[in-house]
């Protein structure tokens, strides 16, 4: 059963704490992405990776970090520098970076601040 798995579904962060959101795909896709969704707003790109061991900043990378050590995994760390982390986080992947390719999305992680 191929797809993208995000975990946990709900996550709570204390002040000053770093938290890591997991994203795993078994689609053998080269490219992976992290988006942030705020209520009533569109998706904004945080980071993306076109290939293993390489990643690029998106539009709102400040306060976040990523790694891409394995093709199937693209974890996102929300650091204490991110002052407003409450949002719905979506991970996505695509076979490559071609303009005609669609993105496949995970079911998301809702992050809230305690």
Partner 1 sequence: GNSVTQMEGPVTLSEEAFLTINCTYTATGYPSLFWYVQYPGEGLQLLLKATKADDKGSNKGFEATYRKETTSFHLEKGSVQVSDSAVYFCALRGDTGRRALTFGSGTRLQVQP
The contact set with partner 1 (CB under 8 A) reads 4, 6, 31, 33, 35, 40-45, 48, 50, 56, 58, 90, 92, 97-103, 105-108
Cβ proximity to partner 1: between 78 and 91 the closer is 91
For residues 38 and 73, give the distance between their C-alpha atoms in angstroms, rounded to a whole number. Answer: 24
Find the distance separating the first CA and the last CA of the chain, reported in whole Å: 35
C-beta of 16: minimal distance to partner 1 in Å?
29
* Cα separation, 60 vs 83, whole angstroms: 12
Compare residues 50 and 79 and give the one whose CB is closer to partner 1.
50
> Is the CB of residue 89 less than 8 Å from the CB of residue 47?
no
Our CB check for partner 1 shows the closer of 10 and 17 to be 10
Residue 14 has a CB neighbour count (10 Å cut-off) of 9
């Amino acid at each position: 059963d191929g797809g993208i798995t995000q975990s946990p579904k709900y996550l709570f962060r204390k002040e000053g704490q770093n938290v890591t959101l997991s994203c795993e795909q078994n689609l053998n896709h080269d490219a992976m992405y992290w988006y942030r969704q705020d209520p009533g707003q569109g998706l904004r790109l945080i980071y993306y990776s076109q290939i293993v061991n390489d990643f690029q900043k998106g539009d709102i990378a400040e306060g976040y970090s990523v790694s891409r050590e394995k093709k199937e995994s693209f974890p996102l760390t929300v650091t204490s520098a991110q002052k407003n982390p409450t949002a719905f986080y979506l991970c996505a992947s695509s076979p490559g970076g071609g303009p005609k390719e669609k993105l496949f999305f995970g079911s998301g992680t809702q992050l809230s601040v305690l």
